[in-house]
Chain A
């Protein structure tokens, strides 16, 4: 990978981490979310061990969409920490590419969070309890699937744009395209998994899901204050 891309990755990751921490700081009690963030970081950390064969290649779970849906802005530092440990302990990903990888997975995670929040949009709230439950599942699926799909798209653009001139470009581009296409079924799997986790939490501990929505008064206060 060209050094310029690695450096740009670290710059974006640095800026995103700073902005995420600022957002987290505006929370009423940021420390209260840390247990949840830490547990999901553990899940993210081991998710890469779950291989799913998509012939002719095999891909592994990423769960960045799930992280965004459940953790909101906490997802970015959580993903960064998870990737750091994967790189240091298992050589998975690598430290030089940590910035690029964190941006590639973290930014779609934040978008997944905003997609999931759409379930609370005024027009959609009119549905009954049953409807809102189904809607929560649907938006969780969309968040999980879009989070991964977008990460794969960023990977595609980055890889295609940086094929070294020493390689046979056509062969390498075909290999990259094959790898990225293999992530389409994975997006469905991760979307379904995200929906499952969210619906489960909704049943056993809905408070865990409310945290992102609870922030609204704080944000309103912020908007009014500045």
Chain B
């Protein structure tokens, strides 16, 4: 398992205005199915199923709140400015899509809700989605690290206050 480098989200982040600190650990896993396309046909109902490789994206704000019904925009490597597919996440903050493996390169998946969003990259090789878990946005630190960093930050401010108080007393 390796982490893809986080890229800064290019969407407007209100940051402090919501507990979604900007974005979202987006987790993504490649699901792999094998099989041949089959068509079931009965009494005029036609169901088609296609098998291939799918990518699952899971989006949550950095306080853990699920990003449900967030808008997903997918960009193929050959046309980075035109959305290849758009959709929205389900109640669990998930979205599944099947990249066109004939377009190899880095696919961009952007998830956005109420001005908060993040971008995650999916590498597609010729004919296959690289099977990995990537993460984007968020700080990527665990609780202990966050608490220690917060304490260090607070001590910085308190120390500054003490330094300037020393003068007056």
Q: Which of A35, A49, A94 contacts B15 (CB 8 A)?
A: A94
Chain B positions 148 through 165: 1 when the CB is less than 8 Å from some CB of chain A, otherwise 0 = 011001101110111011
A159/B115 in contact, CB under 8 A: yes
Contact among A42, A51, A101, A168 with B14 in the assembled complex (CB-CB below 8 Å):
A101
Contact of B88 among A1, A35, A171 (CB under 8 A): A171
CB of B65 within 8 A of CB of A58, answer yes
Q: How many residues does chain A have at the interface if contact means C-beta atoms less than 8 Å apart?
A: 56
Chain B: number of interface residues, binned into ranges: 35 or more
Q: Please, what's the 1-or-0 string for B1-33, where 1 marks a CB less than 8 Å from any CB in chain A?
A: 000001011111111111101100000000000
Interface residues of B in 111-169 (CB under 8 A from A): 112-115, 137-141, 146, 149-150, 153-154, 156-158, 160-162, 164-165, 167-168
Closest B residue to A175 using CB positions: B114
- CB neighbours of A83 from chain B (8 A): 15-16
B112 with A94: CB separation less than 8 A:
no
A-side contacts of B138, CB under 8 Å: 91
Interface residue A69 (Cβ < 8 Å from any Cβ of B) = no
Contact of A62 with B22 at beta-carbon distance under 8 Å, contacts A49-B150, A92-B62, A167-B73 already known: no
Minimal beta-carbon separation of A160 from chain B (angstroms): 9
Q: Is A45 an interface residue (CB 8 A)?
A: yes
Do A94 and B139 form a contact, CB below 8 Å, given A45-B157, A172-B71, A178-B114?
no
A5, A91, A166: the one within 8 Å of B21 (CB): A91
Shortest distance between the CB of B162 and any CB in chain A (Å):
7
Asked if B63 lies at the interface with its beta carbon under 8 angstroms from chain A, I say yes
Contacts of B62 in A (CB 8 A): 91-92
Considering the chains assembled together, what is the distance between the CA atoms of A91 and B11 in angstroms? 14
A185–B70 Cα distance when bound, in Å, is 24
Distance between Cα atoms of A25 and B17 in the complex (Å): 30
- Report how many A-B pairs have Cβ atoms within 8 Å: 163
A120 to B89, CA, bound (A): 52
Query: B12 contacts A60, CB within 8 Å?
Result: no
A34 to chain B, nearest CB (A): 4
Minimum C-beta distance from A20 to chain B (A): 18
CB <8 Å contact, B12 and A48: no
- A110-118, A150-158, A193-201: which lies at the B interface? A150-158
Chain B nearest CB from A40 CB (Å) reads: 9
What B residues does A167 contact at CB under 8 A?
Answer: 71, 73, 86, 112
What is the CB-to-nearest-CB distance from A32 to chain B, in angstroms, rounded to a whole number? 6
Q: Are A168 and B86 in contact (CB under 8 A)?
A: yes
Nearest CB of A to B52, in Å: 25
Q: Identify which of B12, B18, B70, B86 gathers the most chain A CB atoms within 10 Å of its CB.
A: B12
Is A145 an interface residue when CB atoms closer than 8 A count as contact?
Answer: no
Give B159 Cβ to nearest chain A Cβ, in Å: 8
A31 within 8 A of B: yes
Q: Is B73 in contact with A35, judged by CB distance below 8 angstroms?
A: no
Other A-B pairs beyond A1-B12, A36-B161, 15, CB < 8 Å:
A34-B161, A35-B160, A38-B157, A41-B157, A57-B18, A58-B65, A62-B17, A83-B15, A89-B150, A90-B139, A162-B12, A168-B86, A172-B112, A172-B114, A179-B18
Q: Footprint of B on A, CB under 8 Å? A: 1, 5, 31-32, 34-36, 38-39, 41-42, 45-46, 48-49, 51, 57-60, 62, 83, 85-87, 89-97, 100-101, 104-105, 151-152, 155, 158-159, 162, 164, 166-168, 171-172, 175-176, 178-179, 182-183
Mind listing 16 A-B residue pairs with CB under 8 Å? A39-B157, A46-B150, A58-B19, A60-B19, A89-B153, A90-B139, A91-B137, A94-B22, A101-B13, A168-B86, A171-B69, A171-B71, A176-B114, A179-B17, A179-B115, A183-B17
